[in-house]
Structure 1
Amino acid sequence: MTVFSDLVAGYGRFREHGWAEERERWAHLAEGQSPKVMVIACSDSRTDPATVFDTSPGEIFVVRNVANLVPPFEIGGGRHGVSAALEFAVTQLKVEEVVVMGHGMCGGVHASLTKRFAEADPGEGGFIARWINLLDEARDRVTTEHGHGEDAVRALELETVRVSLANLRTFPFVQDAEAVGQLTLHGAWFSIREGVLWVMDEKGEFSPAS
């Protein structure tokens, strides 16, 4: 099991090899960042976008949260971490593409399907419940069609991507950038068990990446 001391030891290896051997690259990155792609992914420890997409530091701007969800555009309420990161990526970094990547065996999807934290207070699952209620409508559609078995799990994992993409398009600055061809949105789903990335087409259907 990795603990903090293991992380510090890993830093030592990075400092000796990754940083030292690519000193010119890190000097360039010290001047600023200019990624072309933003990835919105799940916090799950098994689905690091940098690993799945085999990228180097500076290449992708990443936001990770429970079930790779994007809330709809709204001004009031509490803090808006995902919205702030999205705004920064689109309006300041001028990323050209945003990718929402879901994955198999997602704990957030399981929590939504089982309604495990539905009545919980903050600190006992309440924050989780209030976040994944973004999936309530999709969950109800999925369970009506598929019940609560494995087909429903897979279907709702794909729905997390579709829901987030739909919510992305409620942000005015996303709408504006997409309308003039400055921004393209993509959906993807990663199978942890098989190590296969599925990509969503324009019709909202998924198929393995070639």
Structure 2
Amino acid sequence: MDKAKALPSYLLQRYQGWKATGYAENQTWYRRLAAEGQRPRAMVISCCDSRVHVTSIFGADQGEFFIHRNIANLVPPYEPDGKQHGTSAAVEYAVNALKVAHLIVLGHSSCGGVAGCIQMCKGNAPELENQDSFVGRWMDLLRPKYETVEKVEDAAEQQLLLERQAVLTSLENLMTFPWIKEKVEDGTLSLHGLWTDIGEGSLEYYDAKAKTFEPV
């Protein structure tokens, strides 16, 4: 590969700053993580959105969370078809190899993936309908939920509701994995659905009994 280039100078400067301060002050902890391996108690599946910073939200240190990020925090259903499934592979490793006790799906406000799904379902994003659109085919996972918000006239409310449906879609699909279903039912693994408002810094959780999202 002859096209790769050196880091931009601003990233190099930030790395050097971290190595001289953050790493230097905690090098014993980093070396312990390297020597003993990781033992995260939870896996967080969140959106790629750069504004969603999982470790900051929960004040987590290195080694606490096993994190997987993708467009709109979606988990596909269990499909052992021999194809490459990055999200499913991450979930399998977290549950079966790392033995995490909690699987957390974190959705968020102003999600571009969800907005794209809405536009695609309305027929306003033909580029996402193309079979060579990776984003479009990924958002097909959420497309069936559009009918639950289709008649909502307020655009902001429609967006919010579908963002929450994205979280629920992932929780439902997680339960199609037989080894997840088994661990949830025997109490060794718990599923959690969260939604955060980026601007307000608020956090809501899905209450399965009330079937609504409630403030934490």
User: What TM-score, normalized by structure 1, do the two folds share?
Assistant: 0.92
Aligned to 1:82, which of 79, 87, 91? 87
Whichever residue aligns with residue 166 of structure 1, its letter is E
Structure 1: distance between partners of 2:98 and 2:24 = 27
Structure 2: distance between partners of 1:91 and 1:60 = 15
Asked if the contact 2:131/2:137 (under 8 Å) is kept, the reply is: no
Name the counterpart of 1:156.
Answer: 162
Structure 1: distance between partners of 2:198 and 2:143 = 24
The offset of 1:205, in angstroms, is: 1.2
Once the two structures are superposed, the pairs formed by residues 85-104 of structure 1 within 5 Å of their partners are: 85-104=90-109
Q: Secondary structure at the match of 2:103?
A: strand
Is 1:140–2:147 an aligned residue pair?
A: yes
Name the counterpart of 1:207.
Answer: 214
Structure 1: distance between partners of 2:103 and 2:112 = 23
In terms of mean alpha carbon deviation, does 4-13 or 164-173 score higher? Answer: 4-13
Name the counterpart of 1:168.
Answer: 174
Name the counterpart of 2:8.
Answer: 4
The offset of 1:77, in angstroms, is: 5.8
Q: Give aligned pairs, total.
A: 203
Aligned to 1:73, which of 57, 62, 78? 78
Structure 1: distance between partners of 2:83 and 2:136 = 15
Aligned to 1:181, which of 182, 187, 191? 187
Compared CA separation, residues 148 and 76, structure 1 to 2 (3 A):
farther
Structure 2: distance between partners of 1:51 and 1:206 = 22
User: What TM-score, normalized by structure 2, do the two folds share?
Assistant: 0.90
Name the counterpart of 1:19.
Answer: 23
Structure 2: distance between partners of 1:65 and 1:54 = 21
Q: Secondary structure at the match of 1:41?
A: strand
Structure 2: distance between partners of 1:4 and 1:88 = 33
Name the counterpart of 2:3.
Answer: none
| Percentage identity across paired residues of the two chains | 40
Is 1:119–2:129 an aligned residue pair?
A: yes
The offset of 1:179, in angstroms, is: 1.4
Structure 1: distance between partners of 2:145 and 2:178 = 23
Q: Which runs of 5+ in 2 are unaligned?
A: 1-6
CA-atom RMSD in angstroms: 1.4
Asked if the contact 1:113/1:148 (under 8 Å) is kept, the reply is: no
Q: Secondary structure at the match of 1:30?
A: helix
The offset of 1:121, in angstroms, is: 4.9
The offset of 1:88, in angstroms, is: 0.3
Whichever residue aligns with residue 66 of structure 1, its letter is I
Compared CA separation, residues 199 and 4, structure 1 to 2 (3 A):
farther
The offset of 1:147, in angstroms, is: 3.7
